[in-house]
């Protein structure tokens, strides 16, 4: 948040920020004071049941009405991509163990970078006139290519649990034979 607020570009510097803690990791945010960072909301601040209808609705709304979604490594990033939202992530030393293997090319989702400056430059370009529309179209096309690669029960003609069983069996067989 501090880095975002130091940006010269007013679109970035003045953006409203919504922090959505993981449903089972809200404790650190329960009393967090983020008032020094301007328009920032942390919601919800207490643990919640993600399967509850009200939780699912508010989660959807927070993704759908965002200009972009930023995360470290969470399924919310995939859900945002399915909605066609730009998804950004920073590669960090603290979370490298859960981020390894993520691509950094322009053809994957989320868009990953080693520094905030890279995302700042991309975001600034998106906010600049006619290039913004083209950039959004490219980002949307890249996101849709990513989403099409996800296992989808309707495309495979199988329920999700059957797809998971198939994947687990392939992984187990590969592990037993020393394959990848």
- Out of 16-25, 127-136, 165-174, which region has the weakest mean confidence (pLDDT)? 127-136
Do 80 and 33 fall into the same domain? yes
Whole-number percent of the chain with pLDDT over 90: 21
Given a contact cutoff of 8 angstroms between Cβ atoms, the answer to whether 37 and 1 are in contact is yes
Strand 87-90: give its sheet, edge to edge: 69-71, 87-90, 111-113
Do 129 and 165 fall into the same domain? no
Do 123 and 160 fall into the same domain? no
* Mean pLDDT to the nearest integer, 68-86: 83
pLDDT value of residue 129: 45
pLDDT value of residue 8: 86
Do 170 and 138 fall into the same domain? no
Do 46 and 123 fall into the same domain? yes
Which one has a higher pLDDT value, 51 or 132? 51
Do 94 and 115 fall into the same domain? yes
The span from the CA of 18 to the CA of 71, in Å, is: 12
Over 80: is that where the pLDDT of 54 sits?
yes
Do 172 and 104 fall into the same domain? no
Which one has a higher pLDDT value, 160 or 20? 20
Do 127 and 176 fall into the same domain? no
Given a contact cutoff of 8 angstroms between Cβ atoms, the answer to whether 127 and 67 are in contact is no
Over 70: is that where the pLDDT of 80 sits?
yes
In which residue are the tokens 């960072």 written? 37
Do 52 and 18 fall into the same domain? yes
Strands in 37-129 per DSSP E? 40-42, 69-71, 87-90, 111-113
Do 111 and 175 fall into the same domain? no
Domain count, the chain: 2
Do 160 and 136 fall into the same domain? no
Confidence of residue 90 (pLDDT cuts 50, 70, 90): confident
Q: pTM for this structure?
A: 0.63
Torsion angle of alpha carbons 35, 44, 110, 156, nearest 10°?
-170
pLDDT value of residue 19: 93
Domain of residue 167 covers 153-180
Confidence of residue 16 (pLDDT cuts 50, 70, 90): very high
pLDDT value of residue 136: 54
Which residues make Cβ contacts (< 8 Å) with residue 86, sequence separation at least 6?
67, 68, 69, 111, 126, 136, 139, 143
Q: Cα-flanking dihedrals φ and ψ of residue 70, to 5°? A: -120, 135
Do 160 and 74 fall into the same domain? no
* Mean pLDDT to the nearest integer, 58-79: 86
The angle at the Cα of 42, spanning 37 to 44, to the nearest 5 degrees, equals 175
pLDDT value of residue 87: 81
């Amino acid at each position: 948040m501090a880095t975002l607020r130091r940006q010269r570009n007013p679109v970035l510097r003045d953006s409203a920020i919504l922090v959505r803690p993981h449903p089972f990791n809200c404790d650190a945010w329960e009393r967090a004071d983020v008032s020094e960072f301007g328009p920032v909301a942390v919601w919800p601040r207490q643990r919640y049941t993600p399967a509850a209808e009200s939780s699912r609705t508010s989660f959807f709304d927070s993704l759908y009405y965002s200009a972009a979604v930023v995360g470290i490594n969470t399924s919310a990033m995939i859900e945002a991509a399915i909605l066609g939202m730009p998804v950004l992530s920073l590669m960090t030393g603290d979370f490298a163990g859960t981020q390894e293997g993520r691509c950094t090319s322009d053809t994957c989702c989320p868009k990953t970078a080693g520094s905030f400056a890279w995302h700042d430059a991309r975001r600034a370009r998106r906010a600049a006139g006619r290039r913004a529309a083209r950039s959004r179209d490219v980002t949307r096309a890249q996101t849709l290519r990513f989403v099409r690669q996800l296992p989808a029960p309707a495309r495979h003609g199988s329920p999700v649990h059957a797809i998971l069983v198939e994947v687990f069996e392939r992984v187990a067989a590969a592990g037993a034979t020393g394959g990848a």
